[in-house]
Amino acid sequence: MSKISPVTGHYVDVDVDGLLYKVFYLENGTGQPLVCQHTAGCHNHQWRGLLEDEEITANYRVIAYDLPRHGKSDPPENTEWWTEEYQLSADHFANFIVALCDALELENPIFMGSSFGGNIALQLALRHPDRFAGVIPVEGADYSPGFYLDWWQHPHANAAQVCASGVWDLMAPQSPEADRWKTWFYYSQGSESFRGDLHFYSVDHDLRGKLADIDGDRCPVVMLTGDYDYLTTPEDSARTAAQIPNAEFIEMKEIGHFPMSENHTVFRGYLIRALETLQDKARKSITTS
C-alpha cells in the first residue's frame, strides 16, 4: 500500500510594503508554530525531513514557506516586477516574514532560517522581539560579505549548474550522498533568484555594532552552525552569539551549510537541543517575571 505523507500545502495572500504575494507553504504537526525559511536561491523542499519528523511535529506545527520568487511562490501580483532588478533588502525580508505570520494568524511562533535565513532570524530578533517566541539562526552571523557576484547569472555560464555546484563543497563529506545530491538538485532550480537573495546576505545585512541591542530575554536566540561550513564558520556564529545578551551557540559536528537537507538525521538532534533550550529560557522568563 502506498504511503501518503501527512504534509499539506496551501497558498495564502500576503500584502506587504504595497506588494501582494501569493505565498505557498507546506505544513505538518500541531502545537507551537515553527516557521522555517529556506536558504538563498532555494525553496521549502529543504525542510521535508523536518516536516515529516514525527517526534518534532508531535509538539510543533512546522511551517516551511517558499519566499516570493522561489519555488511555488510567484513574484508580486500587482506590479511589473520584470522591469526591475531583484535585490532583496533587510527591510522587505523582515516585513514579509512578519506579514506572513500575521496572515496565518500565528501565535507565539519560533522562527528558524538557514544561511541568509539565519541572518534574517537575527534581524527579526532585533526588529520584532515581541512577535516571536524565539529565533534559531542556522548558519547565520552578523556579517557575511563577498558573495553578491555577477557571475552567478553570467550569460556565458549555465546559471542553474553554477549555482547548484557552488554549494557542493559547503556540505560535509559525512552527509549521505543521496541527500547531498538532492540539495544540489534543489539549487539547480533557483538560479534566477539566487543573486538577488545574496544582495541581502552580503550587502544589506550588517549587524556589526548592533548585536547588543537584541533583547535576548524578550526574544531568545539559539544559534546552530555546522563545523564544515566555511561560508559562515562556527567561529563567525560563536562571535555573533557572544555579543547578544542571553544568546547561545551550538556547534554542529560533521555537517555543513545545508544541515536540514544534507543530513536531517544529524541536524534533528541539534534542533531538538535548541528547541529545549528555548523552552527552558521561556520557563525561566515566566518564573522571573
Q: What is the pLDDT of residues 77-92, one digit of tens each?
A: 999 999 999 999 999 9
Q: Is the pLDDT of residue 105 over 80?
A: yes
Segments forming the whole domain that contains residue 281: 6-285
Average pLDDT, the chain: 91
CA nearest neighbour of 135 among 199, 221, 218: 221
Q: How many domains does one find in the chain?
A: 1
pTM: 0.92
| Long-range contacts, 81-89 (Cβ 8 Å, 24+) | 85/196, 86/193, 86/195, 86/196, 87/196, 87/199, 87/200, 88/196, 88/197, 88/199, 88/200, 88/204, 89/199, 89/200, 89/204
Asked if residue 1 belongs to a domain, the reply is no
Quick one: pLDDT at residue 184?
78
Asked if residue 138 belongs to a domain, the reply is yes
Quick one: pLDDT at residue 187?
72
Asked if residue 242 belongs to a domain, the reply is yes
CB atoms within 10 A of CB 19: 18
Q: What would the pLDDT profile of 32-68 be if each residue is shown by its tens digit? A: 999 999 999 889 999 999 999 999 999 999 999 999 9
CATH of the domain at 124: 3.40.50.1820
Asked if residue 47 belongs to a domain, the reply is yes
Asked if residue 254 belongs to a domain, the reply is yes
